[in-house]
Amino acid sequence: MTKTLLACLLAAGTVAAHAEATTYAIDPSHTFVTFEANHMGTSTLRGRFDKKEGSVVLDKAAKSGKAEITIDATSIDTGVAALDTHLKSKDFFNAAEFGTAKFTADKFAFTGDKVSEVVGTLTLLGKTQPVTLKASNFNCYVNPMLKREVCGGDFETTITRTQYGMSYGLAYGLPDNIHLLIQIEAVKQ
Amino acid sequence: MFGAHCALLALLAGAAVSTVQAAPQEFAIDPAHTHVHWEIKHFGTSTSRGRFDAVSGGITLDRAARSGSASLTIATGSISTGFAPFDGLLRGPYLLSTTEFPSAYFVAQRFSFDGDKLSAVTGDFTLRNVGKTLTLRALNFACRQDTEPAREVCGGDFETEFERSAFGITHSLPFVADRVRVLIQIEAVRQ
């Protein structure tokens, strides 16, 4: 009897937790991947990817989540056209062959009610490597224009580009470590 | 003897002064490595970023005298967020009014040094025809000798914050924050 009750409660609990899982679609106007790279020991060069799509599944009760974001490698934008062309070439992103980069995550860590870390993989130049994004400012709010819940925040990580086979310019002093600053907002579906 | 000593001292002092006076060097902004980036909080949640792509100007640096001056012109219409409708809104009358105010300016006469290292630059920032004193903190300031082409390049990262309402830009407050963080990449080539 007790066992059956426990099983029923567990089953109910599982159902409830599943019911909390909500899908959010990436808001492309408030979702950007910006990279920072030190330039020849002097200044910091920045660029971003303008086109991306994806979704996030968040279960606030179960404190779990999933994310899948696809980044269009051809949409790289540094504000300098000649540099964008070089970055899209085989020396760097080889965008003709590898048109997209993909971030997939299935482990969300929480501190209290806030997402604190997202653990997943980044596929770039056809190579997949583990990546952990550190979250700051995670928050959900009701957007008055959309009249829907929006969740998001700032995320950052540092990747080592040679792990993906991108080694151009190391000998000239271009860095191997690239800092990524990621803005994400996603709208409840 | 005493007179000759004094004359020698005077000569040395004069040489020292002229060395310092001879030291100011002119640098021209390298537009490929000079960008004004900004960050602003959106609904207390994520950080929206954008940049101005067209920045021109020059810098005078006197490393011996630890002084300098800078004059930067930022084309407000060159704003780029990666999302065209935002760029249109930002250029419009509610925000930057880029037709009426096509340029923002930063003119600095005070360079502060920490030892040999440039630590801060203070000047007048003009946006939408409103001028305010602004101090940029210098990070990573360094000079390097490029070989191809052979030239000296000085530059670094500079950052500051200001309240956009101080320049009359109040649209979307408080959903989009008042505080703007500015990150400036500058590289300049010795002339």
| Residue A11 domain flag | no
Per-residue pLDDT of B32-85, as tens digits, reads: 999 999 999 999 999 999 999 999 999 999 989 999 999 999 999 999 999 999
Residues 96-155 on B with a CB inside 8 Å of A are: 140, 142-144, 146, 153-155
- Across the range B132-152, mean pLDDT stands at 92
Alpha-carbon distance B66 to B114, whole Å? 9
Q: Which residues of B touch A29 (CB under 8 A)?
A: 83, 85-86
Which of B46, B142, B156 is nearest residue A137 as measured by Cβ atoms?
B46
Residue type, A156: E
Which of A32, A77, A185 is nearest residue B45 as measured by Cβ atoms?
A185
Q: How is residue A88 annotated by DSSP?
A: H
**Dihedral angle computed from the Cα positions of residues B53, B107, B33 and A95, in that order, rounded to the nearest 10 degrees:** -20
% of chain A beyond a pLDDT of 90: 85
CB A57 within 8 A of CB A21: yes
Peptide bond into B149 cis (omega under 30): yes
User: Phi first, then psi: what are they for A61, rounded to 5°?
Assistant: -70, -45
User: Phi first, then psi: what are they for A60, rounded to 5°?
Assistant: -65, -35
- Across the range B86-107, mean pLDDT stands at 97
Q: Which residue does chain B place closest to A144, by CA atoms?
A: B175
pLDDT at residue B171 in the model: 93
> Total domain count for chain A?
1
Report the gap between the CA of B24 and the closest CA in chain A (Å).
20
| Residue A95 domain flag | yes
Per-residue pLDDT of A53-66, as tens digits, reads: 999 999 999 999 99
Q: Which residue does chain B place closest to A138, by CA atoms?
A: B45
pLDDT at residue A129 in the model: 98
Per-residue pLDDT of B112-136, as tens digits, reads: 999 888 999 999 999 999 999 999 9
**What does the mean pLDDT of chain B come to?**
89
For A170, the token pair is: 């190391």
pLDDT at residue A164 in the model: 98
% of chain A beyond a pLDDT of 70: 90
Q: How is residue A166 annotated by DSSP?
A: -
CA angle at B93 for the pair B91 and B98, rounded to the nearest 5°: 40
CB-count burial class (<10 Å; 0-12, 13-18, 19+) for B59: buried
**CB spacing of B86 vs A28 below 8 angstroms:** no
| Residue A7 domain flag | no
Alpha-carbon distance B124 to B37, whole Å? 18
User: Phi first, then psi: what are they for B92, rounded to 5°?
Assistant: -75, 180
Per-residue pLDDT of A103-145, as tens digits, reads: 999 999 999 999 999 999 999 999 999 999 999 999 999 999 8
Report the gap between the CA of B4 and the closest CA in chain A (Å).
48
**CB spacing of B85 vs A29 below 8 angstroms:** yes
CB-count burial class (<10 Å; 0-12, 13-18, 19+) for B47: buried
| Residue A145 domain flag | yes
DSSP symbols for A89-151: STTTT-TTT--EEEEEEEEEEEETTEEEEEEEEEEETTEEEEEEEEEEEEEEEEETTTTEEEE
For residue B19, name the pLDDT band (cuts at 50, 70, 90).
very low
Count CB neighbours of A166 within 10 A: 20
Residue A148, domain CATH: 2.40.128.110
B-interface mutation test, from A24, A43, A146, most B Cβ less than 10 A away: A43
Of the candidates A105, A122, A113, the one whose C-alpha atom is nearest the C-alpha of residue A180 is A122
Question: Which range (A76-90, B15-29, B73-87) has the least confidence?
Answer: B15-29
Residue A2 has pLDDT above 80, yes or no: no
Report the gap between the CA of B43 and the closest CA in chain A (Å).
8
Higher pLDDT, B6 or A136: A136
Residue B7 has pLDDT above 50, yes or no: no
Alpha-carbon distance B67 to B59, whole Å? 11
Tell me how far CA of residue A20 lies from CA of A119, A152, B47, in angstroms.
21, 17, 27
Q: Which residues of B touch A79 (CB under 8 A)?
A: 35, 51, 53, 80
- The reported pTM is 0.86
In the numeric block, the tokens 């993906």 are attached to A164
Tell me how far CA of residue A80 lies from CA of A87, A181, B52, in angstroms.
11, 20, 11
Higher pLDDT, B21 or B103: B103
Q: Which domain holds residue A117?
A: 21-188
User: On the CB side of A44, how many CA atoms lie within 13 Å of its CA?
Assistant: 19
| Residue A120 domain flag | yes
| Residue A16 domain flag | no
% of chain B beyond a pLDDT of 90: 83
User: Phi first, then psi: what are they for A73, rounded to 5°?
Assistant: -65, -25
The domains of chain B, with CATH numbers, are 24-190 (2.40.128.110)
| Residue A10 domain flag | no
Which of A43, A137, A185 is nearest residue B156 as measured by Cβ atoms?
A43
**Dihedral angle computed from the Cα positions of residues B81, B83, B84 and B86, in that order, rounded to the nearest 10 degrees:** -70
Residues of chain A that touch chain B, judged by Cβ-Cβ distance less than 8 Å: 28-30, 32, 34, 38-46, 48, 50, 77, 79-80, 82-83, 137-141, 143-144, 150-154, 181, 183-185
CB B71 within 8 A of CB A53: no
**CB spacing of B140 vs A139 below 8 angstroms:** no
Q: Which residues of A touch B183 (CB under 8 A)?
A: 44, 46
Report the gap between the CA of B191 and the closest CA in chain A (Å).
18
Q: Does B43 touch chain A (CB under 8 A)?
A: yes
User: On the CB side of A27, how many CA atoms lie within 13 Å of its CA?
Assistant: 20
CA angle at A124 for the pair A118 and A24, rounded to the nearest 5°: 40
For residue B3, name the pLDDT band (cuts at 50, 70, 90).
very low
pLDDT at residue A182 in the model: 96
pLDDT at residue B22 in the model: 55
Q: Does B49 touch chain A (CB under 8 A)?
A: yes
| Residue A124 domain flag | yes
CB A138 within 8 A of CB A175: no
pLDDT at residue B52 in the model: 97
Per-residue pLDDT of A5-53, as tens digits, reads: 444 444 444 444 455 899 999 999 999 999 999 998 889 999 999 999 9
